[in-house]
């Protein structure tokens, strides 16, 4: 930490936390829609697509920010998961991919029906 404020890596870490919070919110919205409607249906498909676009933007921003941190900073980075627990970035990403695979399976089921 710098004497007169936050270091650049502190600002980057805060931005990563913000972006991951936004991604968690997007995942929550999609899973809520899927749970409420019993999967992907015609009326929620567009909402899911819009949220997916937001997820992609946040993911790209995180990738951009991560290249600005050292490997040790990335390894020690702990971020909040959807349920409030703090996980390593790598554990968060694995959990994110698991939830995303469920969403993709639901989208595939919808596409096969129509």
Domain boundaries, the chain: 8-113
Could you tell me where the beta strands, DSSP code E, fall in 60-107?
Answer: 78-80, 86-88
- Each residue's pLDDT expressed in tens, for the chain with a length of 114 residues: 456 778 999 999 999 999 999 999 999 999 999 999 999 999 999 999 999 999 999 999 999 999 999 999 999 999 999 999 999 999 999 999 999 999 999 999 999 987
What residues have CB less than 8 Å from 57, skipping those under 6 apart? none
> Taking each helix axis from N to C terminus, what angle separates 42-66 and 8-37, rounded to the nearest 10 degrees?
160
The model's pTM: 0.89
Structure tokens at 32: 């809520």
Longest dimension (CA), the chain: 60
Q: Indicate left, alpha or beta for 78 from its phi (over 0: left) and psi (-120 to 50: alpha).
A: beta
Check residue 77 and give its pLDDT: 98
Structure tokens at 22: 């936004």
């Amino acid at each position: 930490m710098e004497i007169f404020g936050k270091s650049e890596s502190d600002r980057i870490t805060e931005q990563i936390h913000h972006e991951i919070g936004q991604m968690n919110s997007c995942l929550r919205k999609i899973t809520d829609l899927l749970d409420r409607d019993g999967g992907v249906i015609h009326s929620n498909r567009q909402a899911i697509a819009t949220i997916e676009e937001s997820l992609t933007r946040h993911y790209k921003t995180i990738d951009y920010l991560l290249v600005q941190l050292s490997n040790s900073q990335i390894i020690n980075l702990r971020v909040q998961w959807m349920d409030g627990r703090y996980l390593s970035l790598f554990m968060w990403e694995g959990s994110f991919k698991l939830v995303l695979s469920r969403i993709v399976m639901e989208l595939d089921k919808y596409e096969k029906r129509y």
